[in-house]
Amino acid sequence: MSDLNATMARLERARPGKVILWTLLFLGGVVMITPIVFMASTSFKTGQEVFELSVIPDRPTLENYVFILQESKFMRWMLNSLWVATFSTASVLFFDSLVGYTLAKFDFRGRQIVFIAILSTLMIPTEMLIIPWYMMSRSFGWIDTYWGIAFPGLMTGFGTFLMRQFFMSLPDELIEAARIDGWSEFAIWWRIAMPLVIPALSALAIFHFLGNWTAFIWPLIVTNDPDIYTIPVGIASFNGEFQMDWEIVMTASCLATLPTLLVFLLLQKFIIRGIMLAGLKG
Amino acid sequence: MTDFWNRLTIGQKLAITAWLFLAIPLVFYITIRFYPTFEAFYVSTLKWNLLGAKKAIGFKNYIKIFADEDFWLVLWNTIKYALVGVPVSMLIAFVIAYWLNEIHFGHDMIRAMYFIPFLTTAVAMAWVWRWFYQPLPIGYFNIMLSWMGIPQQPFLKSVTQALYAIMAPAVWAGLGFQIVIFIAGIRAIPRSYFEAAEIDGAGRWQILREITLPALKPTMIFLTVVSTIGFLRIFDQVYTMSADSAGGPLNSTKPLVLMIYEFAFDEFKLGRASALTVILFMILLVVSLVQLWLMRKHK
Residue A14 predicted with pLDDT over 80: no
Judging contacts by C-beta atoms under 8 Å, the chain B residues touching residue A260 are 119-121
Q: Which residues of B touch A35 (CB under 8 A)?
A: 117, 125, 128-129, 132, 169, 172
Choosing among A26, A131, A239, A258, which should be mutated to test the B contact, i.e. which has the most B CBs within 10 A? A131
- Prediction ipTM score: 0.90
B170 CB-near residues (< 8 Å, 6+ apart): B81, B85, B122, B230, B231, B234, B237
- Going from the N-terminus, what domains does chain B have, and what CATH number goes with each? 2-43 (no CATH), 60-298 (1.10.3720.10)
Task: Check CB contact of A269 with chain B, cutoff 8 Å.
Answer: yes
Interface test with B, best of A13, A25, A52 (most B CBs within 10 A): A25
A282 neighbors A161 (Cβ within 8 angstroms): yes
How many Å lie between the alpha carbon of B123 and the closest alpha carbon of chain A? 6
Residue A130's nearest CA partner among A219, A41, A209, A26 is A219
B172 touches A: beta carbon within 8 Å? yes
User: pTM for this one?
Assistant: 0.90
B240 in contact with A, Cβ within 8 Å: yes
Q: Determine the pLDDT at residue A1.
A: 46
State whether residue A181 is helix, strand or coil. Answer: coil
Report the chain B residue with the minimal C-alpha distance to residue A150: B32
For the ranges A198-207, A230-239, B290-299, which has the lowest average pLDDT?
B290-299
- Name the residue facing B29 among A10, A25, A121 (closest C-beta): A121
Residue A51 has pLDDT above 80, yes or no: no
Least Cα separation, residue B277 to chain A (angstroms): 5
Best B127, B222, B235 residue to mutate vs chain A (most A CBs within 10 Å) = B127
Which residues of chain A are within 8 Å of residue B115 when distances are taken between CB atoms?
A: 264, 272
Contact B281 A109 (CB under 8 A): no
Q: Contact B128/A38, CB-based, under 8 Å? A: yes
* Min Cα–Cα distance to chain A from B100, Å: 7
Give the mean model confidence (pLDDT) for residues A70-93.
Answer: 93
pLDDT: which is higher, A52 or B232: B232
CB contact under 8 Å between A264 and B29, yes or no, is: no
DSSP, residue by residue, chain B: -HHHHHHS-HHHHHHHHHHHHHHHHHHHIIIIIIHHHHHHHHHTTEE--SSS--EE-TTHHHHHHHH-HHHHHHHHHHHHHHHHHHHHHHHHHHHHHHHHTT--TTHHHHHHHHHGGGGS-HHHHHHHHHHHTS-TTT-HHHHHHHHTTPPP--GGG-TTTHHHHHHHHHHHHHHHHHHHHHHHHHHTS-HHHHHHHHHTT--HHHHIIIIIHHHTHHHHHHHHHHHHHHHHT--HHHHHH-SSSTT-STTTT--HHHHHHHHHHTS--HHHHHHHHHHHHHHHHHHHHHHHHHHHHH-
Q: Which residues of B touch A138 (CB under 8 A)?
A: 50
User: Does residue A140 belong to the interface with chain B, where contact is any CB pair within 8 Å?
Assistant: no
Output the pLDDT for position A249.
87
> Could you say which of B36, B176, B184 has the minimum Cβ distance to residue A280?
B184
| Cβ–Cβ < 8 Å for A231, A251 | no
Contact of B265 with chain A, judged by CB distance below 8 Å, is answered with: yes
Q: What is the pLDDT along chain B (299 residues), one digit of tens a residue?
A: 677 878 888 888 889 999 999 999 999 999 999 999 999 999 999 999 888 888 889 899 999 999 999 999 999 999 999 999 999 999 999 999 999 998 888 888 999 999 999 999 999 999 899 989 988 888 889 999 999 999 989 999 899 999 999 999 999 999 999 999 999 999 988 888 888 888 888 888 888 888 899 999 889 988 999 999 999 999 999 999 987 778 878 899 999 999 999 999 999 999 999 999 999 999 999 998 888 888 887 66
Tell me the nearest-neighbour CA distance from A256 into chain B, angstroms. 7
Higher per-residue pLDDT: A11 or A126: A126
- Residues in chain B within 8 Å Cβ distance of A24: 99
CATH of region A72-281: 1.10.3720.10
CATH 1.10.3720.10 domain range(s) in chain A:
72-281
